[in-house]
């Protein structure tokens, strides 16, 4: 959920592929000489600020920060980009050694792990007003007892893709409710030449990425801040809804299938537009299936569930200050500056990533692009990955037991009890 780049997307959307340890807490480890009560005053940041970005953000961050450096001539910036899959390992090493960068970028789904190992300093006052940011994005930077440890930098989310051409032939339009989505899936599957109705992450492909939003759409949540809340009607409803598509044969449960969105075999899915350029290239290069064009693709915000909302996962990138940094005041100054509306708009222009600050949501280049405009509409209804270090273990439990439900060997009610029991034993991991 942290790799979305949308500025390169064309104004006409094409299909996206369905994607779909430590000790102590942030600020407790690695005490430093650079402890800060808040960011350095404007123009007074100084010293070298070392930044670890991830996934190809270094070059554009240097460009963005040039203005800030001009206003803070006693400060300098060194930026190193880290592969996404090495972020946590490098953080563990740096935290154990008490030596690392000043600012660390993590994906929204990595931040709780960083906080749990003590890599992040607790957020001081004066960095940003959390009411200026998407609530789900703020949730992704919270640690134990809802303390803040980082700032949301950019955000991403998912929406519904469907084969608009096939739907039109069947007299259907974009579904707006769970029921309508089920009806469309059934119609896609049963049409002449139909194979499946949609693609969903199979039980072996981290299905929590759709089940958690389904839980929110049913009116529930995975935890209440004190304990995991899984054995309840909302989770059971979401798991039944997910598994039903496999039980009815509307979604492929086995990996060995030739059905794709492009060839019409699986004409609907929930995802984000990070594969837009790849599909555009396939169409332009003539490698897409015959008849598949950009006009084949429909997209819309996710359908609403029983609770009346259409919450989808929020992802993106967050910025925190290393707990052992010796230049915290200057580091927080830069982070604070990057969260302002103007810099959030500039970051969209540079990197194509959506602003976490809601003040930049109406930025004209975003609203003029139908893809990003739809994303920003969906962004208003989002839910964060459960922000606990132990979430990956609970997510694996959901994978295990959702497969049993999808294959009809266990009821959703029994699965919820099993997951709840094991998740309670695991705890949150703080």
Q: Mark whether 180 and 325 lie in a shared domain.
A: no
- Give the residue-averaged pLDDT of 92-114: 96
Q: Domain limits at 413?
A: 159-312+387-426
Q: Are residues 196 and 288 in the same domain?
A: yes
Name the domain count of the chain. 2
Beta-carbon contacts of 285 under 8 Å, excluding residues fewer than 6 positions away, are none
Domain assignment present for residue 372? The answer is yes
Q: Answer yes or no: is 17 within a domain.
A: no
What local confidence, expressed as pLDDT, does residue 21 receive? 33
Whether 18 shows a pLDDT value over 80: the answer reads no
Residue 28 lies in a domain: no
| Interaxial angle between packed helices 391-406 and 208-217, expressed in degrees from 0 to 180 and rounded to the nearest 10 | 90
Tens of pLDDT along 383-417? 998 999 999 999 999 999 999 999 999 999 999 99
Residues 181 and 115 in one domain: no
* pTM of structure: 0.86
How many other CB atoms are there within 10 angstroms of residue 393's CB atom? 14
Pick from 293, 279, 276: nearest CA to 352: 276
Q: Which residues contact 287 (CB under 8 A, 6 or more apart)?
A: none
- 10, 278 contact by CB (below 8 A): no
Domain for residue 412, yes or no?
yes
Distance between CA atoms of residues 378 and 215, nearest Å: 17
* Cβ burial 327-344 (10 Å sphere, 16+ → b, else e): bbbbbbbbbbbbbebebb
Say if CB 429 and CB 388 are below 8 A apart. Answer: yes
Is residue 29 situated within a structural domain? Answer: no
Same domain, 372 and 392: no
pLDDT of residue 279: 75
Would you state the pLDDT for residue 25?
39
Task: Indicate if the pLDDT at residue 273 is higher than 60.
Answer: yes
Q: Is residue 36 part of a domain?
A: no
Calpha distance 198→200 (Å, rounded) = 7
101 lies in the same domain as 213? no
Q: Which residue has the tokens 């509409």?
A: 377
Token digits of residue 48: 């070298």
Residue 16 lies in a domain: no
- 150 and 110, same structural domain? yes
- 8 Å CB contact between 218 and 234: yes
CB 33 within 8 A of CB 218: no
Instruction: Identify whether 118 is part of a domain.
Output: yes
Provide the percentage of residues in the chain whose pLDDT is more than 90: 85
Residues 304 and 175 both lie in one domain? yes
> Contact, 182 vs 236, CB < 8 A?
no
Contact between residue 144 and residue 50 where contact means Cβ atoms under 8 Å apart: no
Residues 205 and 285 grouped into a single domain: yes
10 Å CB burial of residue 376 (0-12, 13-18, 19+) is: buried
pLDDT-derived band at 36 (thresholds 50, 70, 90) equals: low
Kindly state whether residues 304 and 337 are assigned to the same domain: no
194's tokens: 């139909």
Distance CA(213)–CA(378), nearest Å, equals 12
The answer to whether residues 375 and 273 touch, using CB atoms and an 8 Å cutoff, is: yes
Residue 275 has what pLDDT? 62
Among candidates 416, 175, 399, 398, which has minimal Cα distance to 298?
175
User: Which CATH number belongs to the domain containing residue 184 in this structure?
Assistant: 3.40.190.10
Q: In this structure, are 255 and 222 located in the same domain? A: yes
303 and 416 in one domain?
yes
144 and 256, same domain (yes or no): no
């Amino acid at each position: 959920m942290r790799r979305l780049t949308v500025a390169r997307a064309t104004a006409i959307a094409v299909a996206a592929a369905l994607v779909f340890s430590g000790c102590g807490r942030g600020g407790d480890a690695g005490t430093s000489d650079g402890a800060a009560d808040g960011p350095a005053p404007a123009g007074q940041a100084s010293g070298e600020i070392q930044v670890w970005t991830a996934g190809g953000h270094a070059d554009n961050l240097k460009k963005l920060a040039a203005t800030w450096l001009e206003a803070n001539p006693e400060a300098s910036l060194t930026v190193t980009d880290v592969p996404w899959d090495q972020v946590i390992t490098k953080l563990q090493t740096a935290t154990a050694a008490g030596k690392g960068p000043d600012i660390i970028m993590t994906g929204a789904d990595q931040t709780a792990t960083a906080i749990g190992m003590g890599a992040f300093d607790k957020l001081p006052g004066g960095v940003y007003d959390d009411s200026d940011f998407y609530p789900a994005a703020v949730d992704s930077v919270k640690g134990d007892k809802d303390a803040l440890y980082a700032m949301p930098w950019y955000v991403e989310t998912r929406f519904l893709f469907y084969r608009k051409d096939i739907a039109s032939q069947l007299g259907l339009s974009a579904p707006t409710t769970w029921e309508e989505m089920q009806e469309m899936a059934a119609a896609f599957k049963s049409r002449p030449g139909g194979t499946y109705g949609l693609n969903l992450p199979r039980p072996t492909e981290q299905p929590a990425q759709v089940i958690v939003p389904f839980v929110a759409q049913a009116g529930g949540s995975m935890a209440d801040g004190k304990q995991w809340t899984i054995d309840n009607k909302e989770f059971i409803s979401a798991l039944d809804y997910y598994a039903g598509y496999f039980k009815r044969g509307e979604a492929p449960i086995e990996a060995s299938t030739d059905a794709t969105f492009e060839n019409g075999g699986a004409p609907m899915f929930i995802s984000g537009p990070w594969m837009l350029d790849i599909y555009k290239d396939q169409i332009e290069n003539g490698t897409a299936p015959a008849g598949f064009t950009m006009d084949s693709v429909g997209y819309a915000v996710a359908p609403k569930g029983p609770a009346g909302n259409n919450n989808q996962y929020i992802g993106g990138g967050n910025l925190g200050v290393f707990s052992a940094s010796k230049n915290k005041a200057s580091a927080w100054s830069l982070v604070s500056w990057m969260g302002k509306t103007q810099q959030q708009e500039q970051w969209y222009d540079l990197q194509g990533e959506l602003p976490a600050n809601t003040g930049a949501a109406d930025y004209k280049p975003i609203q003029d692009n139908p893809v990003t405009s739809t994303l920003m509409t969906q962004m208003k209804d989002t839910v964060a990955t459960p922000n606990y270090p132990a979430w990956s273990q609970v997510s694996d439990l959901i994978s295990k037991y959702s497969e049993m439900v999808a294959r009809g060997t266990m009821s959703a009610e029994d699965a919820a009890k099993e997951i709840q029991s094991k998740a309670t034993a695991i705890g949150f991991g703080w």
